[in-house]
Structures are given as C-alpha cells and as structure tokens.
C-alpha cells in the first residue's frame, strides 16, 4: 500500500505573499480566475485560490514571503479519506512534523488537512474537501 491509493491528484500549490492585490493581478494576467477568497481567521491572513483549468494556486498574505527563488511553500495532494491517509502516513513513519489533522472553513463545507516535510524541507500537504 502507498499514498497513491489515497490521492486523486494535486489539489493546489501554496504560495505566500506580502501583497495580495499584486499577486492576484499577476495570476489574472496569466489567465487564472479567482475561485475562492476568504480570511483565515486563525492566522489572520487573506487567502485567495486562483484557478486555470485544473491548476489551482493558493496564495495567502502572511507578510513573511521570502521574495526569492524557491518561494513555493507547499504542494497539496487531494485525498479521498483524510483519516486513512493520516493513519497510513503515521504507520509508514513519514509524519516527521508530528502534525495532526486540521480543519479550515474554506469552500462550501470546509477542508481537513495535515502536512509533512520532504527531504528538501518542502512541505507536502494532504487535503480533503468535506
């Protein structure tokens, strides 16, 4: 058994920003459309999901963007069962961040997710729309 049994593809790519308006304008010029905008009240951050065909970019204004190459924060994999995926990741010894399943009230019914770290310090998020 491996993670591909739980995933349906890439859900989104996460990019922090220091200027939401400039980021949204840039991606709109590339042909992306705003799919969803909200405020992550827990982090006090503006969040915008931009979509072009099947590619979704999540940008969030945290005023901590590195502003250098390698600024993508995470790749989120869409999973069909967050609990089973979480159990698999833990049993495989891959939960090196000791993360737990979180909930955010994004989209219509919310989203559950957790994050691990890859060998290059990249974040891999597992996310399920509810």
Question: Which residue's structure tokens are 């042909």?
Answer: 31
pLDDT, tens digit, for every residue of 1-33?
A: 688 888 999 999 999 999 999 999 999 998 999
DSSP summary character for residue 41? T
Examine the pLDDT at 40 and tell me if it is beyond 70: yes
Distance CA 47, CA 50 (A): 10
Examine the pLDDT at 90 and tell me if it is beyond 90: yes
Determine contact, residues 74/120, Cβ cutoff 8 Å: no
Residue 21 sits in a domain whose CATH number is: 3.10.180.10
- Alpha helices per DSSP H over 1-130: 20-29, 82-91
Determine contact, residues 79/85, Cβ cutoff 8 Å: yes
Q: If pLDDT is split at 50, 70 and 90, which confidence band does 64 have?
A: confident
Residue 11 lies in domain? 3-129
pLDDT, tens digit, for every residue of 45-59?
A: 999 999 999 999 999
**How confident is the model over 82-90, as a mean pLDDT?**
95
pLDDT, tens digit, for every residue of 107-127?
A: 889 999 999 998 778 899 999
pLDDT of residue 1: 64
In the chain, how many domains are there? 1
Distance CA 106, CA 9 (A): 19
Question: Which residue's structure tokens are 């310090």?
Answer: 121
């Amino acid at each position: 058994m491996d993670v591909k049994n739980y995933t349906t593809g890439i859900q989104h790519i996460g990019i922090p920003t220091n200027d939401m308006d400039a980021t949204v304008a840039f991606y709109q010029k590339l042909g992306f459309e705003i799919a969803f905008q909200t405020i992550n009240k827990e982090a006090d951050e503006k969040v915008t999901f931009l979509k072009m065909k099947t590619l979704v970019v999540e940008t969030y204004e945290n005023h901590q963007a590195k502003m250098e190459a390698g600024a993508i924060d995470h790749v989120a994999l869409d999973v069909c069962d967050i609990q089973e995926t979480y159990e698999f990741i833990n049993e495989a010894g891959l939960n090196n961040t000791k993360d737990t399943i979180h909930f955010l009230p994004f989209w219509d019914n919310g989203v559950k997710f957790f994050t691990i770290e890859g060998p290059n310090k990249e974040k891999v998020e597992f996310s399920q729309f509810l």
